[in-house]
Structure 1
Amino acid sequence: MIQLDSLTKVFDTPKGAVVAADHIDMEVPAGEICVLLGPSGCGKTTTLKMINRIIRPTSGKVYINGEDTTGMDTQDLRRGIGYVIQQIGLFPNMTIEENITVVPRLLGWDKARYKERAREMMAMIAMEPDAFLKRYPNELSGGQQQRIGVARALAADPPVMLMDEPFGAIDPINRAVIQDEFLKMQQELKKTIMFVSHDIDEAIKMGDRIAIFREGKLVQSSTPDDLLAAPRNAFVESFLGEDRALKRLNLVKVRDVVSDDIGCVRPDDTLEAALARIDDFGYQSSILMVNDRRQPVGIITRSVARTTKGYCRDHFLGIPASVNLDDDLRKVASLMFAHDTTWLPCVDDDGRVCGQITQRSMTRHLGSRYRALEGDVSPNATALTDTTPKE
C-alpha cells in the first residue's frame, strides 16, 4: 500500500546542506502497521511527513496503492491520509463533533452522514457521544483529546494513516489502554499505518514491522521478532538493548507454546492416585485438580500426596495463577516469578483447562528462533519435552 522509492530530503542551512533522509527504500503492505524507530534527529519524522507532503521531498517517489503521488494535488492527497500527531492538534474553537468531522465536511458529506459518522467514531474510541460531542477540547483530559485525534484521523475512512508519536504525551497507564484500544480497532479496520516512535516497547507492541533509522538512513526493516532475534549490526543491537531476548516475550502468545499434555486429578481421587499421576509426569512437584467442568480448583503437592492419606478434595492448595491462551509470555513469566513456580495451567475463554505452560517450554520456544538463524533447526520446531528435575 505504501512504497517509498529512494526518498530523499536535503535541507539547506547556513552551515551547508544537511541530509535528513537519505534514499529511503521501503514498503508497508496493506493493512499493516510499520513503526519508524530511532534516536532523535535520525530522519524518521521527516520521512513520515514527506508521505503527505508536509515536507516536500528533494528527490524520490511515494507510491500509495501503486499510484505515484508526485503529480497529485496536495490537498487531495492529504484528505486521503489520516494524520495524528503527538500534540494532538485539535481546533480549540471547534466542538468535538466539529473536530471529528472536519475532513468529511471538506469532502462534501451531507450533514446527516457526517453527524452519524461522528457518533460512530465516538463509540469506536469508547467515549459516550451524548456526553462529549458538544464539548470543546479544553474540557477533556489529555488522554481523551488523544482519542479524539485518532477519531478525527479515521473519520473519512482513509486507507492510509500517518501517526507521529501519537501516544507520547500520555501517562503510562492511559497510554497502554489507548494502545490496546487502537490495536483492537486496527484488527477490524485494517488500515495501512506508518507510526513514528522513540519507544522500543511501544514499537514491539504496535508494529507488524519495525524500521530502524540512523543519521537519515534506513538501517533495518524487519518484523519485530526478526529484529530482536537478528539485529543487522552493532548499532541496532545496542539500540534494542541487552534485554532484547526478554522483549520477545511480548510477541509470543500462550497458544504458541502450550502443551496439552497435562496431568489432572478429580476431587474424589485419592492422594495415592495423585502421587502416581505426579510421578507419571516426573518433572512436576504438584498436579492440578479440576472439577466436572474441567475447570481448575486447586493443586495437590507431591509432599502432601506422599505423606498423607485421604482424598484430594480434603488436601488441596489454591491455584497460584492460571493463564489464557491469548496472554503473552511476558505475563506468564511475571506470574511464574511472583508465585515461585515453573508451570501454570492454561485455560480457554470458558475457564476450562486446555493445557499447561512451563518455563522450559518457553525457553525452548524462544531459543529455537536463535538456533534457526544458525541453521540448526526450523523456527517452527516443536519445543522439546520438559526435563526439569524432580523435586
Structure 2
Amino acid sequence: MIRLDSLTKVFDTPKGAVTAADHISMDVPSGEICILLGPSGCGKTTTLKMINRIIRPTSGKVFINGEDTTSLDTQELRRSIGYVIQQIGLFPNMTIEENITVVPKLLGWDKAKYKERAREMMRMIALEPDAFLKRYPSELSGGQQQRIGVARALAADPPVMLMDEPFGAIDPINRAVIQDEFLKMQQDLKKTIMFVSHDIDEAIKMGDRIAIFREGKLVQYSEPDELLAAPRNDFVESFLGEDRALKRLNLVKVRDLASNEIGLVRPDDTLATALERIESYGYLNSIVMVNDKRQPVGIINSAVARTTKGHCRDHFQSVPVVVSLDDDLRKVASLMFSNDMTWVPCVDDDGRIVGQITQRAITHHLGSRYRAHSRSGIGATGTEASPSPASKE
C-alpha cells in the first residue's frame, strides 16, 4: 500500500547541507502498522512528513497503492491520507463534530452523510455522540482530545494513515487504554499506517513491522519478533535494550505455547491417585482438581499427597492463578514469578481447563529463536532477511 523508493531529504543550513533522510526504501503492505523508531533527529518524522508532502522530498518517490504520488495535487494527496500528531491539532474554535467532519466537507459529502459519519466515529472511539459532539476541544481531557484526533483522521475513510507520536503526550494509564482501543479498531478497519514513536514497548505492541532509523538512514526493517531476536548491528541491539528477550514475551500468546496435556483429578479421587498423576509428569509439584464442568476448583500439592491419606476434596488449596489463551507471555511470566510457580493452568472463555503453560516452554521458545539465528549466521554482523508478510509470531 505504501512504497518509499530511495526517498531523500537534504536541508540547506548556514553550516551546509544536512541529509535528514538518506535514500529510504521500504514497503508497507496493505492493512499493516509500520512503526518508525529511533533516537531524536534520526529522520523518522522527516520520512513520515514526506509521504503527505508536508516536507517535500529532495529526491525519490512515494507510491500509494501502486500510484506515484509525484504528479498528484498536494491538497488532493493530503485529503486522501489521515494524519494524527502528538499535539492533536484540533481547531479550538470548532465543535467536536465540526472538527471530525472537516475533511468530509472538503470532499463534498452531503450534510446528512457527514453528520452520521461523525456519530459513527464517536461510537468507534467509545465516546457518546450526544454527550460530546457539541462540545469544544477545551472541554475535553487530553486523552479524549487525542481520541477525537484519531476520529478526525479516520472520518473520510482514508486507506492510509500517518501518525506522529499520537499517544506520546498522554499519561501511561490512558495511553495503554487508547492503544488497546486503537488496535481493536484496526482489526476491523485494516488501515495501512505509518506511525512514529520513541517508545520501544509501544512499537512492539502496536507494530506489524518496525523500522529502526539512525542519522537519516534506515538501519533495520523487520517484524517485531525478528527485530528482537536478531538485531542487525550493535546500534540496534543497544537501542532495543538488554531486556529485549523479555520484550519478546509481549508478542506471544498463551495459545501459541500451551500444552493440552495436563493431569487432572476429581474431588472424589484419592490423594494416592493425585500423587501418581503428578509423578507421571516428572516436573510438576501439584495438580489441578476440577468439577464436573472441568473448571478448576483447587490444587493438590505433591507434599500433601505423599504424606496424607484420604480424598482430594478434603485436602486441596485454592487455585493461585489461571490464564486465558489470549493472554500474552509477559503476563504469564509475571504471574509465575509473583506466585512462585513453574506452570500455570490455562482456561477457555467458559473457565474450563484446556491445558497448561510451563516456564520450561517459555524458556525453550525464547531460546530456540536465538539459537536458530545463531545457526543461520544472522545477528549483529549478519545480513538482514527481508521481512515476510506473516504475523508477528
**Which TM-score band applies after superposition, normalised by the shorter structure?**
over 0.9
Percent pairwise identity: 84
- The Cα shift of 1:311 comes to 1.3
Q: Which amino acid aligns with 1:156?
A: A
Task: Give the match for residue 368 of structure 1.
Answer: 368
- CA displacement, residues 168-220 of structure 1 (integer Å, 9 cap, x when unaligned): 00000000000000000001100000000000000000000000000000000
Q: Give distance in 1, aligned partners of 2:349 and 2:209.
A: 29
Distance 2:19 2:144 in 1: 37
In the alignment, residue 255 of structure 1 is paired with which amino acid?
Answer: R
Q: Distance in 1 between matches of 2:266 and 2:72?
A: 69
Return the offset for 1:368.
1.3
Letter in 2 for 1:100: I
Q: Which residue of 2 aligns with 1:229?
A: 229
For 2:229 and 2:277, locate their aligned partners in 1 and report how far apart those are by CA, in whole Å: 38
**Deviations 1:284-322 (Å, cap 9, x if unpaired)?**
110001111111111000111111122111111011111
Match in the other structure for 2:342? 342
* Pair 1:15 & 2:15 matched: yes
| Cα distance per residue 1:206-262 (max 9 Å; x no partner) | 000000000000000000000000000000000001111110000011011100110
**CA distance in structure 2 between the aligned counterparts of 1:139 and 1:145, rounded to whole angstroms:** 9
Task: Give the deviation of 1:374 after TM superposition.
Answer: 2.8
Tell me which residue corresponds to 1:379: none
Three-state SS of the structure 2 residue aligned to 1:145 is helix
- Name the counterpart of 1:387: none
Letter in 1 for 2:183: L
Matched residue of 1:175: which SS? Answer: helix
Aligned AA for 2:237?
A: E
State how 1:166-181 maps to structure 2 within 5 Å: 166-181=166-181
Shift of 1:279: 1.2
Matches within 5 A, 1:281-300: 281-300=281-300
Aligned-partner Cα distance in 2 for 1:343–1:370: 23
Task: Please state if 1:310 is matched with 2:299.
Answer: no
> Per-residue deviation at 1:56?
0.3
Farther-moved stretch of structure 1 (366-375 vs 23-32): 366-375
**Distance (Å, rounded) in 1 between the aligned partners of 2:368 and 2:123:** 42
- 1:62-141 residue pairs with structure 2 within 5 A? 62-141=62-141
CA distance in 2, matches of 1:342, 1:108: 61
> Please, what is the CA RMSD of the aligned residues?
0.7
Shift of 1:281: 1.1
User: Which stretch of structure 1 is more off in the superposition, 87-96 or 278-287?
Assistant: 278-287
Q: Which amino acid aligns with 1:19?
A: T
Q: Report the CA distance between 1:157 and its aligned residue.
A: 0.4
Aligned length: 376
The residue number in structure 2 matching 1:329 is 329
Letter in structure 2 aligned against 1:111:
K
* Residue of structure 2 equivalent to 1:382: none
Which SS does the other structure have where 1:24 is aligned? strand
1:385 aligned partner: none
Q: Give the AA of the match of 1:269.
A: D
Distance (Å, rounded) in 2 between the aligned partners of 1:241 and 1:201: 11
Q: What's the secondary structure of 2:267's corresponding residue? A: coil
In structure 1, how many angstroms separate the alpha carbons of the residues matched to 2:49 and 2:175? 23
Corresponding position of 2:245 = 245
Give the C-alpha shift of residue 375 in structure 1: 3.3
Classify the secondary structure of the residue corresponding to 1:268: coil
TM-score, normalised to structure 1, is 0.95
Counterpart for residue 389 of structure 1 = none
Calculate the TM-score normalised by the size of structure 2. Answer: 0.95
- Quote the Cα distance in structure 2 between the aligned partners of 1:273 and 1:247: 40
Deviation at 1:120?
0.6
Structure 2 alignment gaps of length 5 or more: 377-393
Amino acid at match of 2:176: A
User: Which whole-Å deviations, capped at 9, do the CAs of 1:99-154 have from their partners, x for residues lacking one?
Assistant: 01110111111111111111110110011111101100000000000000000000
| 1:258-269 mapped onto 2 (5 Å cutoff) | 258-269=258-269
Q: Which residues of structure 1 form unaligned runs of 5+?
A: 377-391
CA distance in 1, matches of 2:20, 2:145: 31
Q: Distance in 2 between matches of 1:176 and 1:374?
A: 34
Report the Cα distance in structure 2 between the residues aligned to 1:175 and 1:367, rounded to whole angstroms: 31
Distance (whole Å) between structure 1 residues aligned to residue 234 and residue 247 of structure 2:
18
Distance 2:98 2:338 in 1: 49
SS in 2 for 1:7: strand
